[in-house]
Amino acid sequence: MKNLKDAKTERVKWLHCIKNELFNLMKSEKPDSPALQWCVEMLQDLEFDAQEAMGFKKDSDLHSWWHMSPHCTCCSEINEKHFGKFGKIINKGCPLHGHMI
Ligand SMILES: [Zn+2]
């Protein structure tokens, strides 16, 4: 049982490392780069994996990394404050997420 818990903890740590590397890649791109949309999709997959690794149900409304992405102009403070209540609060002008509304 301990080994399974350790493996899950290790998986979550790795997912955080991959997320940080993805953020570094995103920082190196211009806000209008088409590559950023691939990064948005990869980040969503990472968040789903993290939810699974932590034993939560997979729910994109309960993701918390997306609004921390480089170039994202959606308000982190509002999204953190209302986490889990209304889904995502997206800024229409955000180059990463504006097309979602
Ligand atoms: Zn955004």
- Residue ranges of domains in the chain: 2-100
- Looking at the chain, the whole-number percentage of residues with pLDDT higher than 70 is 99
What's the burial of 55, exposed, middle or buried (CB within 10 Å: 0-12/13-18/19+)?
Answer: exposed
CB 73 within 8 A of CB 91: yes
Q: What is the 24 CA–ligand 1 centroid distance (Å)?
A: 16
Tokens 């590397």 belong to residue: 21
- Give, as residue ranges, everything with CB less than 5 Å from ion ligand 1: 72, 74, 94, 96-97
Query: Closest Cα partner for 22 from 59, 53, 49, 52?
Result: 49
State which amino acid sits at residue 66. W
Distance 23 CA to ligand 1 centre (A): 13
Q: Cα(73) to centroid of ligand 1, in Å?
A: 5
pLDDT in tens, 9-51: 999 999 999 999 999 999 999 999 999 999 999 999 999 999 9
Joined together, the tokens standing for residue 78 give 């509002």
